[in-house]
Amino acid sequence: VRFWLATYIRAQIALKPKPAVAAIKFTNYAAGARKLGMSTTAAEGGACRALVASNQMTKAARYCLTARQNANRTDVLATFLLEESLGEIDLALGKPAEALKRFNGLLAEPLAPVFKARADRVLALRAKAKAQLGNYDSAYEDATAAMNISTERNEAMQEREIARLRARFSWDRQRI
């Protein structure tokens, strides 16, 4: 079990810089977890996201759908991320209407404010779907809203970092 957990953690670490490597690690973890009778939802969801990042949409769709079927209904975050990935796959496969339905559903979720960290990404993806459908005014509104959310988050992060550095330098000055 430790080996499979280590495999999963290595896959998570590789997801951003090397999605193709992460996809292999996640699929290996899913196979091992299946053999041990463990849940494969996290591994299949990770494989889905890694394959989307690697632009292997057909294969990603299989992993996303399997993970969604196996997901615990109370795992709202996993479901949210899987629907986001499925919408991105729909966009890449030339199905903007299906993608738009998914993104609208995600943004209408009662728990959507909890996922504000992802809202800018979902809005940006929804803007792409609307643009592909020729609804450019609405796409522009979504793109602007996505940019505003992202800007607010970045400014808040910068303010926290400045406050942390000021406190550190103040502490250092007191010690001298």
What is the C-alpha separation between 14 and 20, in angstroms, rounded?
9
The pLDDT score that the predictor gives to residue 118 is: 81
The pLDDT score that the predictor gives to residue 98 is: 97
Weakly modelled stretches of the chain, pLDDT under 70 = 1-16, 111-114, 171-176
Q: Are 109 and 82 in contact (CB under 8 A)?
A: no
pLDDT tens track for 75-121: 777 888 899 999 999 999 999 999 999 999 998 877 666 677 788 88
All residues at 6 or more sequence positions from 68 whose CB lies less than 8 Å from its CB, including other chains = 79, 82, 83, 86
The pLDDT score that the predictor gives to residue 14 is: 58
